[in-house]
Structure 1
Amino acid sequence: MSGKAHISISKEGLEAFCRQYHIRKLSLFGSVLRDDFRSDSDVDVLVEFESDHGPGFIALFRMEQELSRLLSGRKVDLITEKFLNRRIKDRVLAAAEVQYAEG
């Protein structure tokens, strides 16, 4: 477990996942970082892809499934900064906890 996150994730598994899908940065946000995180809570994941890679819908779905397996079957909601709701974007970016950063 890294920092405030209420889940454990294999660093090696996460690094391999990010390299496979050309992810530059992966962060957690939402209830996984708060005290209201429960056993049935999903995990909100913010990703930034390498500039020349942007997966389509099917690839994003596969990524959510694979990341869910890395997180012991927990449901994963994967989103990019571009698709964050404007009303919460600044709050999410300020609170997000980086789990992987390229380089």
Structure 2
Amino acid sequence: MGKAHIDIPKDKITEFCRRNHIRKLSLFGSVLRNDFDQESDVDVLVEFEEGHVPGLITLSGFEIELSEIIGRKADLRTPEDLSRHFRKDVVESAETLYAA
């Protein structure tokens, strides 16, 4: 699976993304680095289909569901959530798991 230090069921991620109008789902942060450990959460970057960007409550539900799929806490972010100071670096270094 590339650089990620965790096994994630691709079939479940694909189904999750299709059902929730996610056009791209990627991993970033410590899950791609050597400092990832048992206490680390999994940073997930998502891009939604046009016209399907959910509200905060729905996003929280997505985080819970993703946490169940991957077996540890997921921290869900969109590119717009990231600081402009490091957004480009995160997007460029992220490992894509799903792209529509």
Instruction: Report the TM-score, using the length of structure 1 for normalisation.
Output: 0.94
Superposed CA RMSD: 0.7
Q: Size of the alignment, in residue pairs?
A: 100
What is the aligned-residue identity percentage?
56
Match of 1:58 in 2: 57
Alpha-carbon distance between aligned partners in 1 of 2:89 and 2:37, rounded to the nearest angstrom: 21
C-alpha deviation, 1:67, in angstroms:
0.3
Alpha-carbon distance between aligned partners in 2 of 1:82 and 1:90, rounded to the nearest angstrom: 11
After TM superposition, the structure 1 = structure 2 runs for residues 1-103 of structure 1, keeping only pairs within 5 Å, are: 2-72=1-71, 74-102=72-100
C-alpha deviation, 1:90, in angstroms:
1.4
C-alpha deviation, 1:20, in angstroms:
1.1
Unaligned runs of 5+ in 2: none
CA deviations 1:50-87 (Å, max 9, x no partner) are 00101011110000000000111x11110111111111
Alpha-carbon distance between aligned partners in 2 of 1:93 and 1:10, rounded to the nearest angstrom: 22
Alpha-carbon distance between aligned partners in 1 of 2:19 and 2:57, rounded to the nearest angstrom: 15
SS at match of 2:24: strand
C-alpha deviation, 1:35, in angstroms:
0.3
